[in-house]
């Protein structure tokens, strides 16, 4: 779970309200920055606080005794990727062919695990698959290798010299030390985003420490390696902190009623008010409650149940929750939204994304690979291409218009 924007939700308020997965957070290579004066004195002073919190001398010396602050975190804070996506673009990029295809593979390879999670926690497998796919590309080791960094230098820099949420970063540094002290991980293994989120479903240290469970029963709790602990613990998070309702779907696309209606009411009451599912099917749980949401006037309309907001507890952006819920449906065989968003275009297929990446690379715009996954490298390449060719808007969105221009050789 990503770090907070405010103390009110200290475990999951995302620094990136756009909801980009962790693999997309770290688009630029690390640079060497010398630590400003004062860090060593701060570290010496913080040691006493760590020991008072129960951290052993051995753990402190191993993790923090010679650590240097990763000063690039301050560049990351100031220079968050700014890609102004419309709702349909946001959803298209996350509910991608690559994630749908690989989500089906991940489900097949972990069927017994998802059955166990559904039995133990009641969290629908589609939701967890989508979170896993967006946060770490289903645990792809290349995400870990290419986009993650040691968390202790990052957290040390933030705890030392990030004044807006200093208490939060100090607490997370202590939490990370406690994880090492318990023998659950080592400083070398604890690689994460610049803000310290780690593993399959991007845990902050507090979540690892307080929500994590040893779901594979190997004697330790870990967001790395086998996905059991990460997915089981994420289900626990959605239940305990997101108040997930066992057996309920997140919501449905609906046909809007003739008149204005609002509030929270049962699906049966919505039906009586003239609201029906867009696919023509019946609401399977007429007594469950939902509220209406129209993300964009003229676009699809949704009835949202409590489990949509459970996903939103994981990242507070409404578009993020919509993308996760829709991706989960698509992985499990559901179709696209029936009512299109105004001005939208269909999402590119996997082959089309790969073609776009290949053409951009040949034209001198580095996409960071041609595997059909669209992260910050590909978005930056698209935006640079749009700016060079005068293709407006230069928003970094790789859709049919960009692909058509590339095919023209422009």
pLDDT, tens only, 316-350: 999 999 999 999 999 999 999 999 999 999 999 99
The answer to whether position 278 is within a domain reads no
Q: How many domains does the chain have?
A: 2
The answer to whether position 174 is within a domain reads yes
CATH number, domain with residue 172: 1.10.8.350
Tell which of 175, 204, 233 closes a domain.
Answer: 233
Q: Which two tokens stand for residue 259?
A: 């008149």
pLDDT tens digits, one per residue of 219-265: 999 999 999 999 999 999 999 999 999 999 999 999 987 766 678 99
The answer to whether position 384 is within a domain reads yes
The backbone torsions φ and ψ at residue 268, rounded to the nearest 5 degrees and listed phi first, read: -60, -40
Could you list the residue range(s) of the whole structural domain that residue 369 is in? Answer: 350-407
What pLDDT was estimated at residue 146? 76
CA dist 160 and 148 (Å) reads 21
The answer to whether position 159 is within a domain reads yes
Instruction: Identify the CA nearest to 374 among candidates 127, 89, 139.
Output: 89
Whether the CB-CB separation of 30 and 72 falls below 8 Å is answered with yes
Strands of the sheet containing 276-277, edge to edge, are: 264-266, 289-293, 301-304, 251-255, 276-277
CA dist 234 and 231 (Å) reads 5
Q: How far is CA 340 from CA 89, 240, 298, 389, in A?
A: 12, 35, 8, 28
CA dist 179 and 187 (Å) reads 9
Whether the CB-CB separation of 202 and 221 falls below 8 Å is answered with no
Tell which of 199, 233, 267 closes a domain.
Answer: 233
The answer to whether position 193 is within a domain reads yes
The answer to whether position 357 is within a domain reads yes
The answer to whether position 140 is within a domain reads no
The answer to whether position 177 is within a domain reads yes
Residue 407's CB is within 10 A of a number of other CB atoms, namely 11
What pLDDT was estimated at residue 302? 97
Residue numbers in the chain where pLDDT is lower than 50: 2-33, 81-82
Tell which of 233, 268, 298 closes a domain.
Answer: 233
What pLDDT was estimated at residue 256? 82
Which 8-state DSSP code applies to residue 191? E
- List, as own/partner pairs, every contact residues 11-15 make where C-beta atoms lie below 8 angstroms and the sequence separation is at least 24, other chains included: 11/204, 11/206, 11/207, 11/211, 11/241, 12/204, 12/207, 12/241, 12/313, 12/314, 12/315, 12/316, 13/316, 14/315, 14/316, 14/317, 14/320, 15/77, 15/80, 15/195
């Amino acid at each position: 779970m990503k770090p907070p924007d405010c103390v009110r939700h200290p475990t999951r308020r995302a620094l990136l309200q756009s909801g980009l997965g962790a693999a997309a957070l770290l688009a630029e290579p690390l640079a060497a920055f010398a630590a400003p004066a004062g860090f060593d004195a701060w570290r010496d002073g913080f040691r006493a606080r760590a020991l008072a919190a129960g951290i052993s001398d051995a753990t402190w010396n191993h993790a923090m005794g010679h650590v240097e602050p990763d000063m690039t975190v301050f560049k990351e804070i100031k220079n968050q990727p700014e890609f102004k996506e419309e709702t349909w673009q946001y959803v298209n990029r996350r509910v991608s062919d690559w994630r749908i295809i690989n989500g089906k593979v991940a489900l097949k390879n972990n069927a017994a695990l998802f059955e166990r999670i559904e039995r133990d926690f009641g969290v629908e497998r589609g939701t967890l698959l989508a979170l896993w796919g967006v946060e770490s590309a289903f645990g792809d080791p290349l995400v870990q290798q290419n986009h993650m960094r040691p968390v202790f230098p990052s957290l040390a820099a933030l705890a030392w010299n990030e004044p807006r949420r200093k208490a939060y970063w100090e607490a997370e540094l202590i939490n990370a030390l406690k994880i090492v002290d318990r023998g659950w991980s080592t400083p070398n293994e604890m690689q994460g985003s610049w803000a310290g989120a780690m593993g399959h479903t991007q845990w902050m240290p507090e979540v690892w420490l307080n929500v994590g469970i040893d779901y594979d029963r190997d004697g330790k709790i870990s967001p790395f390696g086998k996905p059991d602990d990460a997915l089981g613990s994420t289900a626990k998070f959605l239940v305990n902190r997101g108040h997930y309702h066992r057996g309920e779907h997140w919501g449905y696309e609906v046909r809007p009623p003739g008149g204005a209606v609002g509030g929270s009411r049962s699906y049966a009451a919505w039906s009586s008010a003239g609201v029906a599912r867009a696919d023509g099917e019946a609401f399977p749980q007429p007594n469950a409650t939902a509220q209406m949401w129209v993300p964009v006037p003229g676009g699809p309309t949704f009835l949202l149940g409590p489990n949509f907001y459970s996903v939103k507890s994981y990242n507070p952006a409404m578009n993020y929750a919509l993308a996760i819920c829709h991706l989960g449906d698509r992985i499990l065989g559901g179709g696209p939204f029936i009512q299109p968003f105004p001005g939208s275009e269909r999402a590119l297929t996997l082959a089309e994304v790969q073609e776009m990446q290949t053409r951009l690379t040949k034209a001198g715009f580095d996409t960071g690979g041609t595997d059909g996954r669209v992260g910050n490298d590909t978005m930056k390449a698209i935006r640079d291409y749009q700016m060079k060719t005068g293709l407006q808007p230069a928003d970094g969105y790789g859709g049919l218009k960009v692909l058509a221009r590339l095919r023209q050789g422009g």
